Chain A
Amino acid sequence: MNARVFLLLLWPITASAQGFAGLGTDVDGFSSPQRPAQFDFPIDHGPHDDYRIEWWYLTANLEGLDGTPYGLQWTLFRSALTSDVGKGWSSPQLWMGHAAVTTPDAHFVTERLARGGIGQAGVQADPFEAWIDDWQLVGPDFATLTVTASGPDFAYIWS
């Protein structure tokens, strides 16, 4: 079993009833969301490294110029291996990007993995930018976002 398969198991891909593949359970050292929570935007659009997992998620139903319907999805997950604060390569933060396109008769999907701490992936609150490799969700404000993703058999850019 190689690391790739193993790491996939770490990720909260399937939000099962038991709670995010076990990542929803309490682990010492991480913060847990408390009620009542007061959000502070735009800062809270950025990452919260003291929490174990979080993700930035966009789905869209689109129509082509010829009337063909398309489904589009773009997600960036952040997952921390430990609650330590590591710098550079020793950062415990891992990132996974997931992108998909559906047409009436086909489904395209691809993903990316990246280490935190080296600039390969991350999220910046203001001006908002979430990225992994060449994929990004970016814009001066949330009304004018541009989203890009690419894989071996499809790519999209939409704004």
Chain B
Amino acid sequence: MTNAGLLALLSHWRRNPMQLFTLVVGLSLATALWSGVQAVNTEARASYDAAAETLGEGMFAQIIARTGTIPQEDFIALRRAGWLVSPVVEGRLDGIRLIGIDALTSPGGLTPVGLSDGKLTVDMITRGILFATQETLERLGEVDVRKFPSSDVAPAVILTDVGTAQILLGLDGQISRLIVAPQQPIIQPPLEVIAPNFELIPPQSGSDVGRLTDSFHLNLTAFGLLSFVVGIFIVHGAIGLAFEQRRPVIRTLRALGFPLVHLIALIAFELVGISVLAGMIGVGLGYFIAASLLPDVAATISGLYGQSISGTLQFRPEWWVSSLLIAVGGTALAAAASLWRLACMPLLASARPHAWAMQARRSRLIQAVFAMFLLVAASLLGWLGSGLAAGFAMLAALLIGAALALPVILDGLLTAGARHAKSIIEEWFWADTRQQLPGLSLALMALLIAMATNVGVSTMVSSFRLTFTGFLDQRLASEFYVYADDAQQAASLRAYLELRVDKVLPIQSANQDIRGLPSEIYGPIAHATYRDNWLFLDAAPDAWALIEAGQAAAINEQLARRAGIAIGDEITIAGHPFKVLGIYGDYGNPIGQVIITEAKFAALFPEISPLSFGVRIDPSRVTALSLDLGTHFGLTEVNMINQAGIKAFSLAVFDRTFTVTGALNILTLAVAGFAILMSLLTLATMRIPQLAPIWAQGISRARLGRLEIVRAALLALLTTALALPLGLSLAWTLLAVVNVEAFGWRLPLFLFPLDYARLAVFAVVAAVIAALWPATKLARTRPADLLKVFANER
């Protein structure tokens, strides 16, 4: 009986292969985008975890010396006083970060790689081994220590024993920092008593880089989810249709005595089978999406946050299992209503498929109310909410609310259109379009969401780019930049330049934590270049004068936002208090920045002398100057860069940052386009009974076909018109809420009418192309088939 029932159910797909295709492809695409994004996130997270585990950054308290490195005797003294601390020696080897740890005393999980090999442990301690990823080891030059590839080490990091690191870095008897074990003995003298020069840094929580990158991954996840929702819309449509069309089969089966529970179980089994198949295809596609996105994501992450992630993708079960589950779960969600209706359906209910369209009309009111509720919630969130979660909740409410409102609004617009109809055929056209709306609304909702996202994201990226370009023009005011190799060369270079150019602006910086956030302190000299070009977003009166007098500092926007510093607040730099009098925009910089006067900088950081200089000079003399410096100081291209060079480089970094967003954007639009095509194709076959009477009254098939195309174009155009305001609200949310949380800067919103017009044309063309096939099919329907409608009328 089960076999017969299953065969009867499956025969539906044999008769409607297009529906099966829609279902499988829709689900695969949805899963593909979702799993692609998940794969990227999982890979990045694995890189962060490896970094956190091997470096112990953030997880444990640390001890550093105020004066630089910690003498090894002091480490022993701390241990012998009962402080459970573990030594870390770090530095750069061939430009790669080298970290030496002591596997015996480092807190749990901090050991390098899987040391299950006993011989390896012994060799690491007695002879020294360098652990790193294959990629990193290949970058490393010749060293006299054994190299051991391991994928568990963070990218761009070499891990080894303390002793080996001391030798390789020339830090004999010195320790860079000490990691404090989370569990300490109950008796312990205070740190100040044993080592007064040491500073205990509590474990980093709050605003560390991990949390910053979280916001980027939340962005990606939101995109993945969006694509998945669009895909599920397609699946929902396909499943709903299949259920409606199978009503006669189900009625017949039940009339023959097939138990309802058994039938539901069979359908569920069939759906799980289809969703697992589609999920697997989706995971495969997702792998390729992720593999092609990952290098750009890696570039973005290191550009925006200074974090390294691996550029190669591994097939980790975390994401493919979850993607398969979400494919099955999404299908279950899309099928739940249909299954429920089936369970409640009276045994001999009408088998007419048109109940579907009627049902849609009845639920329209509920849908409108729900849409209103979501839109009100979105505006409330935008008004009262704060934080990244509220921002994304607002985006979700806005998009879903607008999608739900779409059929209601379109219905209203079409009714209004019908009122202006001048002929019977026009009147029929409007009425028929309205009648088709329920069948097309899911696809149109998908299109609306995809287009609004496109408008929103492209507006955000373009506004960002415009602001960024303007910012570069201001910030890179010097015509020419030159970098010395050492302090001695820098001094003679400066003296040489002073005599030949309008002004030499030394660029010097020190790294410091400001309120626990990693920041750079800059000490520029007082000059009009800064006063004219570093525009404050917010400042006290006479800010520049006071900063140049040495009493105050200016900070960048991201530091102000992350640390909650306002104008007039005090910050401490190297133990010295400064009043913050200005906040300036600093786009594209991952960390905080502070500007103090050159004199103060020299007093606080006497060991730092400037190695790079900005040069103010007549732009026409730049080439001559670089040639001159080349002959006099042997400086090469690497040491000299003109303004145009830096700008081009910065913009290239910027553009790469948003490649990922652009790619996801186009994929989402493609899914929506596919949804439209499939909906039109499905409707075309169902519409023969409705079109036959019109044809019988003398309208040619060719004209009917043309009207179909016009209809598709009209609906696409109306949807685009609605997508525009929605997309702009989306852009506003991204710029004013999400960006502030994710990157720490707020950007002005610019409008790009030409881009929107192009998108509208694209949407209409896509809809026309999608309608072309069903319309041609319609125009070629044999008159006999149209006549058959009257013969078989139910």
Interface of A with B (CB < 8 Å)? Answer: 1-4, 6-7, 10, 81-82, 84, 86, 88-92, 94, 113-115, 118-120, 131, 133-134, 150-155
Q: Are A152 and B185 in contact (CB under 8 A)?
A: yes
B99 within 8 A of A: no
- A133 contact from B80, B111, B128, Cβ within 8 A: B80
Closest-by-CB residue of A relative to B125 is A81
Residues of B within 8 A of A152 (CB): 183-186
B519 within 8 A of A: no
B707 within 8 A of A: no
- Subset of 12 A-B contacts with CB under 8 Å: A1-B114, A3-B121, A7-B104, A81-B126, A94-B104, A94-B125, A113-B104, A114-B104, A119-B76, A120-B79, A133-B82, A151-B185
A4 to B102, CA, bound (A): 11
A35 to B115, CA, bound (A): 38
Tell me the minimal C-beta distance from A53 to chain B in angstroms. 15
Closest-by-CB residue of A relative to B82 is A134
- A115 contact from B84, B104, B122, B128, Cβ within 8 A: B104
- B186 contact from A6, A82, A151, Cβ within 8 A: A151
Q: Are A131 and B111 in contact (CB under 8 A)?
A: no
Q: Are B116 and A1 in contact (CB under 8 A)?
A: yes
Residue from B102, B104, B127, B188 with most neighbouring chain A CB atoms (10 Å) = B104
Q: Are A115 and B102 in contact (CB under 8 A)?
A: yes
Tell me the minimal C-beta distance from A10 to chain B in angstroms. 7
B190 within 8 A of A: no
Residues of B within 8 A of A91 (CB): 126
Q: Are A90 and B81 in contact (CB under 8 A)?
A: no
- A89 contact from B79, B114, B163, Cβ within 8 A: B163
Q: Are A153 and B104 in contact (CB under 8 A)?
A: no
Residues of B within 8 A of A88 (CB): 163
CB-CB contacts below 8 Å: B136-186 with A: 161-164, 166, 183-186
Q: Are A90 and B127 in contact (CB under 8 A)?
A: yes
Residues of A within 8 A of B126 (CB): 81-82, 84, 86, 90-92
Tell me the minimal C-beta distance from B186 to chain A in angstroms. 5
B516 within 8 A of A: no
Q: Are A3 and B111 in contact (CB under 8 A)?
A: yes
Total A-B Cβ pairs within 8 A: 94
Q: Are A7 and B121 in contact (CB under 8 A)?
A: yes
Q: Are B185 and A89 in contact (CB under 8 A)?
A: no
Residues of A within 8 A of B127 (CB): 90
A119 to B128, CA, bound (A): 20
Q: Are B76 and A120 in contact (CB under 8 A)?
A: yes
Tell me the minimal C-beta distance from B658 to chain A in angstroms. 40
B108 within 8 A of A: yes
CB-CB contacts below 8 Å: B51-86 with A: 72-73, 76, 79-82, 84
A92 to B104, CA, bound (A): 13
Known: A81-B126, A82-B122. A134 touches B114 (CB 8 A): no
Closest-by-CB residue of B relative to A94 is B104
Identify the 10 closest CB pairs spanning chains A and B, nearest first. A89-B163, A134-B82, A150-B185, A3-B103, A3-B111, A113-B104, A3-B115, A2-B111, A81-B122, A152-B183
Residues of B within 8 A of A119 (CB): 73, 76
Residues of B within 8 A of A155 (CB): 185-187
Could you give, for residues 93-123 of chain B, a 1 whenever the CB lies within 8 Å of some chain A CB and a 0 otherwise? Answer: 0000000001111001101101110100110
Tell me the minimal C-beta distance from A115 to chain B in angstroms. 6
Closest-by-CB residue of A relative to B122 is A81
A114 to B78, CA, bound (A): 13
A86 to B122, CA, bound (A): 12
Q: Are B187 and A6 in contact (CB under 8 A)?
A: no
Residues of A within 8 A of B161 (CB): 89
Residue from B82, B115, B127, B185 with most neighbouring chain A CB atoms (10 Å) = B185
A82 to B162, CA, bound (A): 19
Interface of B with A (CB < 8 Å)? Answer: 72-73, 76, 79-82, 84, 102-105, 108-109, 111-112, 114-116, 118, 121-122, 125-128, 161-164, 166, 183-188
Residue from A94, A120, A155 with most neighbouring chain B CB atoms (10 Å) = A120
- A150 contact from B82, B104, B111, B115, Cβ within 8 A: B82
Q: Are B186 and A134 in contact (CB under 8 A)?
A: no
A2 to B622, CA, bound (A): 58
Closest-by-CB residue of A relative to B102 is A115
Residues of A within 8 A of B104 (CB): 3-4, 7, 94, 113-115
Q: Are A2 and B105 in contact (CB under 8 A)?
A: no
Residues of B within 8 A of A2 (CB): 108-109, 111, 114-115
Q: Are B82 and A89 in contact (CB under 8 A)?
A: no
- A134 contact from B79, B112, B122, B183, Cβ within 8 A: B79
Q: Are B125 and A90 in contact (CB under 8 A)?
A: yes
Residues of B within 8 A of A89 (CB): 125, 161-164, 166
A92 to B121, CA, bound (A): 11
Closest-by-CB residue of B relative to A81 is B122
Residue from A3, A151, A155 with most neighbouring chain B CB atoms (10 Å) = A3
Tell me the minimal C-beta distance from B108 to chain A in angstroms. 7
Q: Are B81 and A6 in contact (CB under 8 A)?
A: no
Q: Are B125 and A6 in contact (CB under 8 A)?
A: no
Residues of B within 8 A of A10 (CB): 118
Known: A6-B121, A81-B125, A131-B80. A90 touches B186 (CB 8 A): no
A155 to B188, CA, bound (A): 11
A148 to B284, CA, bound (A): 61
Residues of B within 8 A of A92 (CB): 122, 125-126
Q: Are B102 and A90 in contact (CB under 8 A)?
A: no
Tell me the minimal C-beta distance from A114 to chain B in angstroms. 6
Q: Are A114 and B80 in contact (CB under 8 A)?
A: no
A134 to B184, CA, bound (A): 12
Residues of A within 8 A of B72 (CB): 118
Q: A118-B76, A120-B79 are in contact. List 14 more A-B contacts (CB 8 A).
A: A1-B114, A6-B115, A7-B104, A89-B125, A89-B163, A89-B164, A90-B126, A91-B126, A92-B126, A113-B104, A115-B104, A131-B80, A134-B185, A151-B185
Q: Are B109 and A133 in contact (CB under 8 A)?
A: no
A82 to B125, CA, bound (A): 10
Q: Are B125 and A150 in contact (CB under 8 A)?
A: no
A114 to B79, CA, bound (A): 10
Residues of B within 8 A of A131 (CB): 80
A84 to B183, CA, bound (A): 34
A1 to B113, CA, bound (A): 9
Residues of A within 8 A of B118 (CB): 6, 10
Known: A1-B116, A2-B109, A133-B80. A90 touches B163 (CB 8 A): yes
Q: Are A4 and B183 in contact (CB under 8 A)?
A: no
Residue from B76, B79, B82, B183 with most neighbouring chain A CB atoms (10 Å) = B79
Closest-by-CB residue of B relative to A136 is B80
A51 to B121, CA, bound (A): 20
Known: A4-B111, A6-B115. A133 touches B122 (CB 8 A): no
Tell me the minimal C-beta distance from A108 to chain B in angstroms. 11
Tell me the minimal C-beta distance from B764 to chain A in angstroms. 61
Q: Are A134 and B81 in contact (CB under 8 A)?
A: yes
Q: Are A113 and B185 in contact (CB under 8 A)?
A: no
Residues of B within 8 A of A86 (CB): 126
Q: Are B125 and A115 in contact (CB under 8 A)?
A: yes
Tell me the minimal C-beta distance from A42 to chain B in angstroms. 23
Tell me the minimal C-beta distance from A142 to chain B in angstroms. 23
Residues of A within 8 A of B112 (CB): 3
Residues of B within 8 A of A6 (CB): 115-116, 118, 121
A114 to B125, CA, bound (A): 12
Residues of B within 8 A of A90 (CB): 125-128, 163
A150 to B186, CA, bound (A): 7
A105 to B223, CA, bound (A): 59
Tell me the minimal C-beta distance from A88 to chain B in angstroms. 6
A134 to B84, CA, bound (A): 10
A1 to B104, CA, bound (A): 14
Closest-by-CB residue of B relative to A153 is B186
Tell me the minimal C-beta distance from B457 to chain A in angstroms. 43
Closest-by-CB residue of A relative to B184 is A152
A66 to B440, CA, bound (A): 87
